[in-house]
Structure 1
Amino acid sequence: MDNTLALLSILLAVCGVVHAQTERPHILFILADDLGWSDIGYNNPYVITPTLDTLAQDGVIFNQSYALPACTPSRASLMTGYFAYRTGLQHDVLVKNRPTGLPLHFTILPQKLKEQGYSTYMVGKWHLGFCKDEYTPNGRGFDHFYGFYTAAGDYYTHTTGPKNFLDLREDFTPDRDQGGVYSSDLFSEKAANYVANHDTSKPLFMYYSLQSVHGPLQVPEKYLDKYLFVKNLGRRTKLGMITAMDDSVAVLVEAFKEHGLWNNTLLIFQSDNGGPANENNFGNNWPLRGSKKTLWEGGTRVVTFAHGPMLEKTGYVNNEMMHIVDWFPTLVNLTGGESDSDMDGLNLWDTISKGDPSPRTEFVYNIDEEDDIPRQAIRVGDYKLIHGKAGNPSHWVPPPENYCLGEAENGRIFKNYTRLFNLKDDPTERNDLSKAMPKKVEEMLARLEELKEKTYPVLHAPALNKESSPARFGGLWNLLIAILPILGVEVLYGENLLSDTCQ
């Protein structure tokens, strides 16, 4: 009898272990804003990011991970699994006073995870539209949201725009009581509270969409003191913001540990684009070329890593190709769901967890033909083709701990100008091969033309009339389109005020 009971106990214990290992993981997706390639400690020893460095080194660092050149296009790609040119949001970023947003025909990531039984929380920056309820985080699958709808704002007053209107809310309720609280502290505390109150019988998806380290350059004095060796005050402030961001991640990780979630949590950290390497923002992507809003590697090849006990191979740098669109199908499939077969994203779980070769062999940097000069780029295998305008700066900005102008590139950018690079041999894009390899150029241009057939027209919505100013609605950036008729405000644009996406 004793032997039987002992055997039964062992079997139950084994079953319990198997259950724990196959249980759907909690997911913590941290999206940094405007963090450059050389703006994290494991790529730059001058940067103080102990929490992120430890997580990355204990997990998997992805050395060839890509996003779009700017905020809104990247977020649209992450949330849908489609390249930005297929969402209508490929042309720059959403402006806060335009009544449009990520089209509603897309079922986005939190909605898919809710289908798998996940509780979904978002803290931080949205920037995918808020012209009416359906376009907000709460309308698109998040159980709870705390943060801001627009592109950026003051880190202490939580206001944005030339008139400093408030953009901070919990779900749909404005939060007017946080003036003077630094947003990194505010957001990490709110995210930790969501974790503390989470029903542990359900898997959790936390989208921690950081304000850091987008401008304006603001940080508590204690973080500036960590970088007194940096002479340039702008860069010193940027570095302080990065370290404050690291501390906010530490607070959230500790909350996951304290409430018993950490041992089954997949953490993903990624930047939405390269750093803006200019004398107003002081981000850096060295040794990569270019910066935010460019098709150069410095604008699109981004800091990314994953951490979690479900990763089978850890403690190394993964050089396989991946793109921000791949997270959607990877996470949905990991949690037991299925994604659209027409989706651009690929399920890279075996690459991420085991280090297997990536099924991704090509991707589109962007296809944008809104201006006289096209802005297009594609990678196929080791080769990258840029057609038209790549964007400025087009040079290599040295590490701004010793800030200088860098190596400027001369010459005009013509409409049909093409450049070809072998990124395996030349990851910093210094050797243009277009004249030496005309057949390769022709082949990749043809592939671009083929992919263009799936382009979704750029979403253009009229700018709102001054009658919709937040000054008339309590000083808050809000669902103005939805409430204008209710409040009896004259709609001077008539029926055209509402774009097709917000009717």
Structure 2
Amino acid sequence: MNIRALITCFILGLSQVALAQKPNIIVIMADDLGYSDIGCYGSEIKTPNLDALARNGVKFTQFYNAARCCPSRASLLTGVYPHQAGMGKMVVTSDITNRDAETPNQGWLSRNTVTIAEVLKQAGYQTYMSGKWHVGEQRPDWPMQRGFDKYFGLISGANSYYRLLPRRLMLEDNQPYTIPDNFYMTDAISAKAVEYLDEARNNPFFMYVAYTAPHWPLHAPDEEIAPYKGKYMKGWDHLRQERFQKQQKMGLLPVTQKLSDRDATISAWENAPDKEDWDQKMAAYAAMVTRMDKGIGQIVAKLKANGQLENTLIMFLSDNGACSEELVNRAQRDLGDPAYEISLKTPSGAKGSYDAYGKEWANLGNVPFRQYKSFTHEGGISTPLIVHYPKMVKKAFQTDQVGHIMDIMPTCLELAGATYPKEYNDRSIKPVEGKSLLPIIRGTTRKNHDYIAWEHFDSRAVRKDQWKLVWSRENKKWELYDLLKDRSEMKDLSSTHTGKVKELSQIYQNWSDRVGVNGN
């Protein structure tokens, strides 16, 4: 072998070593998990694995999603606002006739965006996804068409945890997946993620684990529900106080922060009928969260066994606040007869049931905040965020620096040394809107976004510094809050701070025009 060939082999060897030393990245997303629904954010629900990640990582107290499943997932994957990613509203399940006429509310990921997987794949990463997609139902919009090497999971939205419902689509890679006997969705998502880790030995990897838990329907194994039975007979009023007190002891909230009032449409627990049924519902919900946590523990255990944990960034968050939706009509439509009739006689959580836990327990899930999933009050858009990265975070800490779900894309790219492209597949790419979280994770102060804003089905908000202007689609008026003093949004200051309302409403208007809020 001549000198030139030796030098070439040496350089190639060095590049392979450098590539192997790049950090691995895992993003784990829960579905409809409330701000206070895990132990390290105040919950009585057992989540020892997430709590351990928080004890050895960074816990964010003021991190935001995009209010609902589809917008949040689009923003996470692309690093831009949901409307810029084509997902201002919800995914479109019908066939798409004109892919060139893109709009902010089209219902599939814009071709003028790139996903984290697409960029990291070009940077030498293996890319995997296990779980719920929900940002494109047609084949051109599936995960493997948007940068993932391997995919397993639910392309569609909500589904039974035990079987595939009509009009739902599950895939393994690009092929329809047939659900086997003894299937449970959460366990399957965890198992496939663990399997992928064994494949990812020689190159750095990016893995997106998107659980369907604890989204309705309430489904959990009996052995997981049993330890929680009877624990919720305390009722939502007592448990809201308990969670709030835990949060204060943890320093999650300023000492001056107050717990929001119980939703005025919810009765006091002492007046609630069917208390045992309510206990069963919340026990099933808690079991779903615990089962998900066990799966996350399996992922962490595999990283340890493979010697990869030290060099792996793990981020955990939720796609929106706790969910107040009811399934009275939805269940019949999804199940059809006679399965619907069976569901009415089946206890919540059991196979054959099709139930939600209602705003009564969602009001607990979002402690200390107001409102729920799909609203832009704090209860709809606040999420836990846990970041675990032993190579960078040597001492655990909690931060109140403000972040948004669109910040995850630039965080991943900066850590991987990848460049966000101006063009991809011969299409111009919209500039990234997110800002890397790495300065925060390193323990320094990051320059804030000038502002962050939201809109989803006419729920609107804009936050600049500690000030937040929010519009509920129910009340149809602007409310103003000083989140430094009142993050529970209890005292509306719009009538006494008219100048601030004018300033923020103009920022919102400029933003909504820029991202196309009113586009088709």
TM-score (norm 2): 0.74
CA 1:165 to 1:444, structure 2 compared with 1: closer, same or farther past 3 Å?
Answer: closer
> How far apart, CA to CA, are the structure 2 residues paired with 1:452 and 1:166?
33
- Residue 165 of structure 1, CA deviation: 4.8
Q: For each residue in 1:387-431, what CA deviation from the matched residue of structure 2 results, as whole angstroms up to 9, or x when unmatched?
A: 3x255xxxxxxxxxxxxxxxxxxxxx23xx111000010010000
The answer to whether residue 301 in structure 2 is matched with residue 254 in structure 1 is yes
Distance 1:77 1:436 in 2: 34
Between the two proteins, what is the percent identity of the paired residues? 31
Cα deviation, residue 20, structure 1: 8.7
The residue aligned with 1:201 is 202
Contact 1:310–1:353 at 8 Å: present in 2 too? no
Q: Distance in 2 between matches of 1:121 and 1:71?
A: 20
Pair 1:304-2:385 in alignment: yes
Counterpart residue number, 1:78 = 76
Counterpart for residue 265 of structure 1: 312
2:214 — aligned with what? Answer: 213
CA distance in 1, matches of 2:367, 2:118: 37
1:96 to 80, 93, 96: 93
Tell me the alpha carbon deviations over residues 31-71 of structure 1, each in whole angstroms, 9 at most, x when there is no partner. 11110011101122411000001111210000000001100
Deviations 1:189-239 (A, max 9, x none): 1111111122x2210111001111111000001111121222311111100
Q: Does 1:351 align with 2:440?
A: yes
Of 119, 125, 128, 2:126 maps to 119
For 2:156, which of 147, 150, 172 is the aligned residue? 150
Q: CA 1:184 to 1:65, structure 2 compared with 1: closer, same or farther past 3 Å?
A: same
What is the CA–CA distance in structure 2 between the aligned matches of 1:314 and 1:84, rounded to whole Å?
34
Q: Give distance in 1, aligned partners of 2:84 and 2:28.
A: 24
Q: Report the Cα offset of residue 338 of structure 1.
A: 2.2
Q: 2:113 aligns with which of 91, 106, 110?
A: 106
Residue in structure 1 matched with residue 449 of structure 2 by the alignment: 360
What amino acid does structure 1 have at the position aligned with 2:387?
A
Structure-2 separation of matches of 1:22 and 1:138: 23
Within the alignment, does 1:288 sit opposite 2:288 as a pair? no
Q: CA deviation at 1:167?
A: 2.6
Q: Which residue of 2 aligns with 1:28?
A: 26
* Aligned ranges 1:358-397 → 2 under 5 Å: 358-366=447-455, 368=456, 374-387=458-471, 389-390=472-473
Contact persistence 1:37–1:285 (CA under 8 A): yes
Which consecutive unaligned segments of at least 5 residues does structure 2 have? 1-13, 97-106, 234-278, 327-355, 423-430
- Partners of 1:237 and 1:98 lie apart in 2 by 36
Matched with 1:13 is none
Shift, 1:454, TM fit? 1.6
Name the structure with the higher helix share.
2
Q: Deviations over 1:284-339 (max 9, x none)?
A: 10111111111110110101110011324532211001000011111112211223
Aligned match of 1:490? none
Q: Write the letter of the residue equivalent to 2:58.
A: V
Paired position in structure 2 for 1:139? 145
Task: Write the distance in 1 (CA, Å) between the matches of 2:394 and 2:464.
Answer: 27
2:111 maps to amino acid: L
Q: Which residue of 2 aligns with 1:397?
A: none
**Deviation at residue 86 of structure 1 after TM alignment:** 2.0
Q: 1:154 to 1:361 in 2, by over 3 A?
A: same
Q: How far is 1:21 from its partner? A: 12
1:248-274: per-residue Cα shift (whole Å, max 9, x none)? Answer: 111111111222221210000010111
Give 2:218's aligned amino acid.
L
Q: Deviations over 1:355-408 (max 9, x none)?
A: 424433420122x5x6xxx43210000000013x255xxxxxxxxxxxxxxxxx
User: C-alpha distance in 1, partners of 2:145/2:516?
Assistant: 23
CA RMSD across the alignment = 2.2
Shift, 1:278, TM fit = 5.7
Partner residue of 1:46? 44
Task: Assess, with a 3 A threshold, how the Cα gap between structure 1 residues 419 and 165 changes in structure 2: closer, same or farther.
Answer: closer
User: CA–CA distance in 2 between the matches of 1:433 and 1:339?
Assistant: 40
Relative to structure 1, is the Cα distance of residues 458 and 76 closer, same or farther in structure 2, using a 3 angstrom cutoff?
farther
Q: Which moves more between the two structures, 351-360 or 248-257?
A: 351-360
TM-score, normalised relative to structure 1:
0.77
Is it true that 1:324 corresponds to 2:420 in the alignment? no
| Partner secondary structure for residue 499 of structure 2 | helix
Task: Give distance in 1, aligned partners of 2:124 and 2:19.
Answer: 18
State the match for 2:282 in structure 1.
235
Amino acid at match of 2:197: V
In structure 2, what is the Cα distance between the partners aligned to 1:63 and 1:311? 20
Runs of 5+ unmatched residues, structure 1 = 1-15, 392-412, 461-503
